[in-house]
Amino acid sequence: MRRVLGLVAAFVRRDLLVDFSYRGSSVFTVAGALFSLWSLYFLGRTFGNSSPLLAVSGGDYFRFALVGIAFSVPLRGGMAGVSRRVRELQLFGGLESLVSSPVPPFGSIVLVALYPLLSAAVRGGLLFSLGVLVFGAQFPQANYLWACVALGLGMAAYLAFGIVSAAFVVVFKRGDPVAWALDALTFLVSGIIYPVEVLPRLLHPVAALVPATHALAALRQALLQGAGLAEIAPSLRSLLLFCGLLLPASALVLRAALRKAARDGTLGQV
């Protein structure tokens, strides 16, 4: 356990130092968050509580959209971050060393993914905090414990997608269309800024196959209505099923990609 914690600390510290070397990025992060929230706030002022589909948030569009935007950041950001980090390692010659280390390849990629996941979680938390502190969104009934459980399961499911994306990068040495396509699908059908119910019925089964749909449903119930385990259990079961299927599958896909690259002698190529 001490060795694992040491590896986690080393990977996170390395990426943290790289990020801190670009100090202006934090200013742009906060500014971008404020501009995004202003847009949602004015949309909420425009439409008010006119839609019965916003019943989960008491008719408050801003609170509904705030939960969707804030917590879609860690869900979607970690997925894209994994493939981006793997591509950086390819370009700077570190991928071959990483996968030949004593840590199993799947574990190495998870360690590489830790900082993008943590960074995305911090950005999502910043958005949520600004929505509360600057724009006055209130969550008096929030059940933060089960909200964190739902978010953690959703992030684990999207980590699996990120590992598949990283496998694509390992084999094809190019930007990854897998993460882009999944990100676009998530934004379209999972109910980030509008309820899933407004989608055409044809897309409802598609929405049910996207982990973010279930994660955001559980998050809204927990944060906006104070729901406990009994109420969000169906969403949590769906997320557990996604994790149980996707994480082992992603490990197999990554192993196959690394073996192909090693066999072809292209693991260290850019």
Question: How confident is the model at residue 9, as a pLDDT?
Answer: 64
> How many residues can be counted in the chain?
270
Question: How confident is the model at residue 57, as a pLDDT?
Answer: 60
Question: How confident is the model at residue 68, as a pLDDT?
Answer: 92
Q: How far apart are CA 170 and CA 112, in angstroms?
A: 14
Q: How far apart are CA 139 and CA 220, in angstroms?
A: 10
Name the token pair of 269: 């190529």
Across the chain, which has 270 residues, the per-10-residue mean pLDDT values are 61 61 62 80 74 69 90 82 75 67 72 80 89 90 94 92 85 73 89 89 93 95 92 95 93 86 67
CB contact set of 42 (below 8 Å; sequence gap of 6+): none
Question: How confident is the model at residue 21, as a pLDDT?
Answer: 57
Question: How confident is the model at residue 262, as a pLDDT?
Answer: 74
**What single-letter amino acid sits at 157?**
A
Name the token pair of 99: 């996968």
Residue 148 · residue 215 · CB < 8 Å: no
For 247, phi then psi, to 5°, come to: -65, -50
